Structure 1
Amino acid sequence: MSLTNFDGSSPRWKWVGLRNYLELFNDGDAWGALGRTLAFTAIVVPLSVAGALGLAIVINRRLRAVGLWRTVFFLPSVVPVVAMAIMWKLVFNKDAGILNAILGVAGVQPVNWLVDPTVFYALIILMLWGLGGGMVIMLAALQGVPVELEEAAVVDGAGRWTVFRHVTVPMISPILFFQVITGVIGALQIFVQPLLLTNASGIAGAGAVPESNRMYMVQVYQEFFLSNRFGYGSAMLWIFFLIVLGLTLVLLRSSRSWVHYEVDTDAEREGATR
């Protein structure tokens, strides 16, 4: 389809070869959307992984009503995305939103969160609200770290931070890698949240997305269903697939230097043999 000018309905389409790809390489809107998506990913993924790990460390301690706290932190991750977006639209409302009400107590003037450029930060806050899923995975990883190793490090004179950095983190590094790589893939494909944060709905809502939140998949959706350019949209998706694949391979390659497995990998065994 990416090699045609198919519009989604008309039988009168023809083969155009690489024309869609050549047009894409000169499309400033598409590359701008890709740049915003990469910036969003670079901000959200580290904050999400660090936030989930921080919550897991807190919950992993012996606290009163720890089961209740785990439930409280986990619940946001199971809220349907549509309900979550509607709720946060109310929170970010300029005139009646609770966020501006809290800021008003501190003497801050009301902020119009759902317009450029602040809507980008509103989207980041919305995404960070659901850290509970990652927290559960991190908690399982922390509980799998052998206590004997940490106690041995303490006996050798290591402080709490040293134990965490040189014992705990290497032991949970495969889980951290899993969270990073799935977080990157998920953040790059973000679509529903920026679309639902607009004041419009339906297919026309894609055209009303503020520029700061016009991510790559929103741009693809607009090409498909507003401009009826199925061939061009397909070309955008193929290029996007190659970008996601490339970033994934880079992460896999970099994992050799910071991810430590309890069982030697084939590459490590081959290197040791040589």
Structure 2
Amino acid sequence: MARRNWSRYPRKPFYLFVGPWVLGFLLLTAAPMVYAFAVSLTNFDGSSPRWRWVGLRNYVELLGDDDAWAALLRTIGYTAIAVPLSVAGSLGLALLLNRRLKAVGLWRTIFFLPSVVPVVAMAIMWKLVLNRDAGILNSILSVANVPPITWLVDPMAFYALIILTLWGLGGGMIIMLAALQGVPPALEEAARVDGASRWKVFRHVTVPMISPVIYFQVCTGVIATLQIVVQPLLLAETNSISGVGQVPQSTHLYMVQAYQEFFVSNRFGYGSAMLWVFFVVILAFTLLVQRSSRMWVHYEVDSDAER
């Protein structure tokens, strides 16, 4: 049988299709990052033309900034709690809505809708819900004779932020639901025939089959959660977003601290240094998750065996 001759595609269509992405990456990502790094080596305040080159002084100062390190530790702690709860909650909802239920499409829509609400509207809505005097949550708790809870100040502000984060589980639920529906029913049925319980089928068949999707959820969740900034600012009991100094200490995360350096202290050089260091931190956590995936993520095709 004659071997089929494959003709090589012309280069012009390739560059035509990738050109918009490459152009957008260079102008909207690469160039701003280079500019931010250059600013981090100066004492630029955002408006005054009187700025000068300071070299690595901002980075040296950052190493001794106790407030920045405390904010970073709070951010890591928040991520360590929010990401597992988000992934587990998304998977739990997906398992619940993967069954043959009445009006299952309606229930899926109801749980998915919060994830498409703009983050600013969501934060303002929850700020009203969690209000101590007029919030609906305290009104419900008052029926059980629970005294009003000040959700938006320490120490409850941290839990309020967790509630706000978990309210948008619908997006992850849809991804998990798609993964569950891609699991071959024959594998689960074979495990049941061999005497495996539902828990063992879920643990040894379902979870390994959807582990690449779980890995995707964990990786993107870590990146997004570490960078959270709008929600803590809007949940703070202030009249405007510029009142970042009144953000409770428990929700004063690293990006909130960077925001304060930029728009409250007008230290654009120091704030840019903070962001570049945070970029390295996020990259390190992402690589850590990626390396750990070798121990618990299972693919249908073993790439190592193929090589």
* TM-score normalised by L of structure 1: 0.96
2:58 to 10, 20, 28: 20
Query: Once the two structures are superposed, what CA deviation does each residue of 1:21-73 show, in whole Å capped at 9, x if it has no partner?
Result: 11101101101111111111000000000000000000000000001100110
1:88 to 114, 126, 133: 126
Looking at structure 1, the residues matched to 252 and 109 of structure 2 have their Cα atoms a distance apart, in angstroms, of 33
Q: Which has the larger radius of gyration?
A: 2
Is contact 1:90-1:97 (8 Å) kept?
yes
Looking at structure 2, the residues matched to 122 and 190 of structure 1 have their Cα atoms a distance apart, in angstroms, of 14
Distance apart, 1:141 and its partner CA: 0.1
Structure 2 gap segments, 5+ residues each: 1-38
> Is 1:244 equivalent to 2:282 in the alignment?
yes
Looking at structure 1, the residues matched to 117 and 48 of structure 2 have their Cα atoms a distance apart, in angstroms, of 39
Looking at structure 1, the residues matched to 252 and 151 of structure 2 have their Cα atoms a distance apart, in angstroms, of 15
Paired letter, 2:64: N
Q: 1:120 maps to what in 2?
A: 158
Q: 2:26 maps to what in 1?
A: none
> Is 1:107 equivalent to 2:145 in the alignment?
yes
Query: Once the two structures are superposed, what CA deviation does each residue of 1:151-194 show, in whole Å capped at 9, x if it has no partner?
Result: 11011111100000000000000000000000000000001000
Looking at structure 2, the residues matched to 232 and 201 of structure 1 have their Cα atoms a distance apart, in angstroms, of 27
Q: 1:67 maps to what in 2?
A: 105
Paired letter, 1:118: M
Seen in structure 2, the aligned counterparts of structure 1 residues 82 and 24 have a Cα distance that, compared at 3 Å, is same
Looking at structure 1, the residues matched to 125 and 49 of structure 2 have their Cα atoms a distance apart, in angstroms, of 42
Q: Secondary structure at the match of 1:204?
A: coil
Looking at structure 1, the residues matched to 124 and 241 of structure 2 have their Cα atoms a distance apart, in angstroms, of 17
Paired letter, 1:220: A
Looking at structure 1, the residues matched to 253 and 48 of structure 2 have their Cα atoms a distance apart, in angstroms, of 28
Looking at structure 2, the residues matched to 269 and 21 of structure 1 have their Cα atoms a distance apart, in angstroms, of 45
Identical pairs, percent = 74
Across the aligned residues of Structure 1 and Structure 2, the Cα RMSD in angstroms comes to 1.0
* TM-score normalised by L of structure 2: 0.86
Looking at structure 2, the residues matched to 79 and 247 of structure 1 have their Cα atoms a distance apart, in angstroms, of 28
Paired letter, 2:291: R
Q: Which 10-residue stretch deviates more, 42-51 or 201-210?
A: 201-210
Looking at structure 1, the residues matched to 219 and 243 of structure 2 have their Cα atoms a distance apart, in angstroms, of 30
Q: 2:244 maps to what in 1?
A: 206
Paired letter, 1:98: I
Q: Which 10-residue stretch deviates more, 160-169 or 105-114?
A: 105-114
Structure 1 gap segments, 5+ residues each: none
Q: 2:215 maps to what in 1?
A: 177
Distance apart, 1:200 and its partner CA: 2.1
Q: Which runs of 4+ in 1 moved over 3 A?
A: 267-270
Looking at structure 2, the residues matched to 91 and 104 of structure 1 have their Cα atoms a distance apart, in angstroms, of 14
Is contact 2:234-2:241 (8 Å) kept?
no
Paired letter, 2:100: R
Q: 1:42 maps to what in 2?
A: 80
